[in-house]
Chain A
């Protein structure tokens, strides 16, 4: 994982802890949002709003629908921010 992805992962961790009172140790790249972290589709909408505020990229909710794990979130955001 490169430095940029590391940074994004840290930002995601901070937001997840803040929004869902999750234990930071549970937020590992392979953790599944729905099954492991109890984040449902409505939570995902709120999560996306906060992520967009922190990491300045243009992502549609359709693109975000495909993410399953924390790693997917990191990859999606890394890819989009490198385009800009």
Chain B
């Protein structure tokens, strides 16, 4: 895969934005195929309740909790053209790096990530961020990093909250990917209404406080939402 995408990148005649759209579509179709094959083999079941996501105005940040390894797969399967903030480790990986670059994703290990994300959002793209940074290893607590709030405040972008549930818990951080439960794993993805920043934080405060207030707001929001 990595090799294939490495060969694609220098292709002449096609503009970068065209290649980006093409790659994102490939990712979308690949993810859709993956979850359908998993379902066909009776390994998983999944439900989408994402009507508010489909109706949302473009240029928003899709925020989601991160219980399992394949959360991003479900979200890419539901969205044809979505940007994504990726871990530095994936950006520099031999196989996933070239794909992430061609798809116009954003690495999280550079200070430039914020202005890059702001430009994408203002250009009308939607940006997926898992503010937990990595898969959640403690189901009863939620700890968000501030990156999502940094970007939201800088771009004045709305937040589209997505809740991912996985029953029984599978493909967690501590699990090996081949150790899966005997029963069918049920995934459910639901989205809430878009959150506007001025409805949840005081925009007149210094930005540094807004980052913290918004992060705290989102943590509380998810804590209530996921334990309900």
A and B co-occur in one complex: yes
By a beta-carbon cutoff of 8 Å, the part of chain A in contact with chain B is 18-21, 40-43, 45-47, 50
A11 to chain B, nearest CB (A): 16
3 shortest interchain CB distances as A-B pairs: A19-B208, A42-B150, A46-B208
Question: How many A-B residue pairs lie within 8 Å, measured between CB atoms?
Answer: 25
Main secondary structure of the interface of B (DSSP, over half): helix
Q: List 13 A-B contacts (CB under 8 A).
A: A18-B206, A19-B206, A20-B209, A21-B209, A21-B212, A40-B146, A41-B111, A42-B111, A42-B150, A46-B206, A46-B207, A46-B208, A47-B208
Are A20 and B208 in contact, with the CB atoms below 8 A?
yes
Chain A residues near B207 (CB, 8 Å)?
A: 46
Residue contact A42 to B206, C-beta cutoff 8 Å: no
Name the contact of B211 in the complex, choosing from A18, A41, A43, A47 (C-beta under 8 A): A43
Give the shortest distance, in Å, between B120 (CB) and chain A (any CB).
17
Judge whether A19 and B211 touch: CB under 8 Å.
Answer: no
Which secondary structure characterizes the binding site on chain A?
A: helix
User: Is the CB of B164 closer than 8 A to any CB of chain A?
Assistant: no
Contacts of A50 in B (CB 8 A): 206
- Contact residues in B for A41 (Cβ distance below 8 Å): 111
Q: Mark B183-210, 1 if CB is under 8 A from A, else 0.
A: 0000000000000000000000011110
Q: What A residues does B208 contact at CB under 8 A?
A: 19-20, 43, 46-47
Nearest-neighbor residue (CB-CB) of B208 within chain A:
A19
Q: Known pairs A20-B208, A41-B111, A42-B146. 10 more at Cβ < 8 A?
A: A18-B206, A19-B206, A21-B209, A21-B212, A42-B114, A42-B147, A43-B211, A45-B111, A46-B206, A46-B207
Q: Beyond A40-B146, A42-B150, is A19–B111 a contact (Cβ under 8 Å)?
A: no
Which positions 110-147 of chain B face chain A at CB distance < 8 Å?
111, 114, 146-147
Measured in the bound complex, the distance between the Cα atoms of B207 and A50 in whole Å is: 11
A18 cross-chain contacts in B, Cβ below 8 A: 206
Question: Roughly how many angstroms separate A47 CA and B111 CA in the complex, as a whole number?
Answer: 15
